[in-house]
Amino acid sequence: MPTTLVEWLRAQPDEMLATLMRLRPDLVVPPPTDFGKLAARADVRASVSRSCDDLDTVALVVLEALVVAGADSAPVPRAELARLLGPDMRPKALSSALGALSARALVWGPDDELAIVPAARDVVPRYPGGLGRSAVGPAASSALPALLAAVTPEERRVLDTLTAGPPMGRSRGGTDPAGPVGTLLAKGLLLRVDNETVELPRQVAIALRGDRPMGKLTVTPPQLGQRDRGADVVDRTAGGAVLTLIRQVELLIAHWGENPPPVLRSGGLGVRELRRAAKEMETDESTAALVIEVVVAADLVGAGDGIAPEWMPTTSADVWLAGGPEVRWSLLARSWLDLPRLPGLVGRKDDTGRPIAALSDGVRRPLAPRDRRRILEGLAELPAGTAVGSVGGLAELMAWRAPRRGGRLRDEFVTWVLAEATTFGVAALDAISTPGRALLTDHSGLVAALRATLPEAVDQVLLQADLTAVAPGPLEPELARELGLLADIESAGGATVYRFTEATIRRALDAGRSASDVHELLAKRSATPVPQGLTYLVDDVARRHGRLRGGAATSFLRSDDEVLIAEVMAHPEAANLELRRIAPTVVVSPVPLVEVLDALRAAGFSPAAEDTGGAVLDLSDRGRRTSPRRRTKERAATPEFSERQVAGMIKRMRGGDTLAGIRRNAAEFASGSTLELLRRAVAEGREVWIGFVDSHGVSSERVLRPVRVGGGLLEGNDSIDGELHQVQLHRITSIALVEEQQ
């Protein structure tokens, strides 16, 4: 039977070793050359601590019991472990916990010889199971039962308090030899730590706990209350949240395109700028901070390159704005799920007492994506349309499944994730939505899942006599773009209200739409008759629009109406624009055309821009933009390996172990024997472990599958990455065939 961790690892099948590498990937970075190095890494305190972060309450209790039993110094039978855990621990639960510990190489050996890595003692609580240190003297003798039977009620109360844990207690009465603490010290049932601190010996606590030496255990997860919301109701609510979110991002892009806020010297976004953005987005500051964090992560907004950098939309935002709601939401949802930050921290005080700003380093938490996904997956375990009974219940379940994760923000993080998921339509009414499930399991079906959730796009609006239009649902993309030119959104929600004004009609005409185009659109897309007032508004603006036209000369103005040209030249603004009349109907200016047109509009004229062919030119301002900064993906908290890489590393370790059994004698690796072994490997398709010295005199080793041997060179594919390598035969110092795993 294997007696050491190295022997146990060496005897495991490749499937178990592959599982170990995925559960504890830090053990194989860099890839170990043999099982000795793997075992040494498995006992490193930091690695053991990280591995324990993934264990649930039962597995951690079993690990504590093994520490109490001293399994780090001598193997312990399973029967002794079961005795310590008591009747609360069912055999099935114990087997499951031992399986989880064994898969992580924290526990090894058969049932009658269970051993643990010594570093486990440093990872479990200081008082495992709430038990103190073992003592010598009366507490460790056969007289202990008689001593406990003779204690007074006052002494028993002291013992019962410390038995429940922790075993340390403070009492100023400890110096009184006649008091209960003093008498217990005299009997050896308590140990003195200092003048005011005493400790209950482990033997005494175990004796008082009876058949539960580790105390009363909770081996079943807390029940997660459920409420049936209805899958359709949840999805419709989530669809409404998605439309609201998209509208908020549109407003933010438009606002920061015109008024980009400065980047703080310490990085991040100022409090006043966050408050202003929340007002523009028509939401609260916490939601605004969340949306801003995500749009920056999605590369829709970034810091400009100026001397005084500002937060502004990137050119990627224009591509995003041109997409449908499903595609837009897909990018936002994926960016949120992988966001290595905690937006809920914005506004809180950091360690120095200063408020944490949005987009600052104070919000960064690399492990946030892992914990966010874990919470959503817990929510997704419920049937479709079923909500958790309470957020607190979900937090309790997450804490039971991973007690060591989350730190002091563990419970709050659950609340934040559920609120953020609701904002993004991933969840609604405390239940995960259909698109939310697709987000967790199948990104390829994400767009289709949301498309089935959103209400059907409408292709008509309801025109009102008060110069408004009501969209009873999400508009088709083409209609939404055209209506966005013709009118401003007055209110958004389940039904969006658009308002037509002289400025909005002129905006559409400036973009190249003619009066007939506008009339045709309104007549075709309205489910109600076009109000006469709206028809008059369009005709009135169109009648004045474009009578005066401008071009670039740097710029010019022309009009068939000489009187209108004369009015422009007589206006005080003409001097500021440096207008010069070169013909009865033509005026030129060195000022850029956009500035000329803006100034004339401010003066009460209605000019239109034209191109070289005389067609109306769209010079509308789309806001400032910066280049997208494709950020390198956050380095994964835990590296991931392909099946091929894992198999290669296992072969390398087995090859290293094989070589360890060979005497490294230069005579044994003469040129002839090396060639013979390599040719055999080529013929049989076997892999070889080679040690060699490179051109710089540095020793190295590699597992290769030789494909050609000749001309003084060995060519072979690496067992891990598959790349072709060449090694000069005279540089090979050691070699061994990799034995196939039976």
Q: What is the pLDDT of residues 85-109, one digit of tens each?
A: 999 999 999 999 999 999 999 999 9
Cα separation, 635 vs 196, in Å, equals 49
Q: Tell me the sheet residues that pair with 734.
A: 691
pLDDT (tens digit per residue) in 256-311: 999 999 999 888 999 999 999 999 998 999 999 999 999 999 999 999 887 889 99
CATH T-level assignment (fold) for domain 5-130 = Arc Repressor Mutant, subunit A (1.10.10)
CA dist 707 → 631, 647, 688, 710, 722 (Å): 40, 19, 11, 10, 12
Write the DSSP assignment of 704-729 as a string of letters: EEEEEEETTEEEEEETTT--EEEEEG
614: left (phi over 0), alpha (psi -120 to 50) or beta: left
**pLDDT for the residue 623:** 65
Task: Note whether 205 and 131 are within 8 A (CB).
Answer: yes
CATH of domain 138-209: 1.10.10
Write the DSSP assignment of 257-271 as a string of letters: HHSPPBPPTTSSB-H
pLDDT (tens digit per residue) in 119-138: 999 999 999 999 988 888 88
Which architecture characterizes domain 643-737 according to CATH?
A: Roll (2.30)
Residue 413, H or E segment: helix 410-423
- In the chain, what percentage of residues exceed pLDDT 70? 93
Band the pLDDT of 166: cuts 50, 70, 90: confident
Question: Of 316-330, 529-543, 725-739, which gets the smallest average pLDDT?
Answer: 725-739
CA 244-245-247 angle, 5° bins = 65
Looking at residues 531-542, what average pLDDT do you find?
A: 92
184 CB-contact burial (10 Å; exposed 0-12 / middle 13-18 / buried 19+): buried
Band the pLDDT of 170: cuts 50, 70, 90: confident
pLDDT (tens digit per residue) in 453-504: 887 778 889 999 999 999 888 888 788 888 888 998 888 766 889 999 999 9
Higher pLDDT, 410 or 245: 245
Pull the structure tokens for residue 313: 């939309």
Band the pLDDT of 364: cuts 50, 70, 90: very high
Using the predicted structure, report yes or no on whether residue 631 has a pLDDT greater than 60: no
By DSSP bridging, strand 431-432 and strand 468-471 are unpaired
Task: Note whether 634 and 366 are within 8 A (CB).
Answer: yes
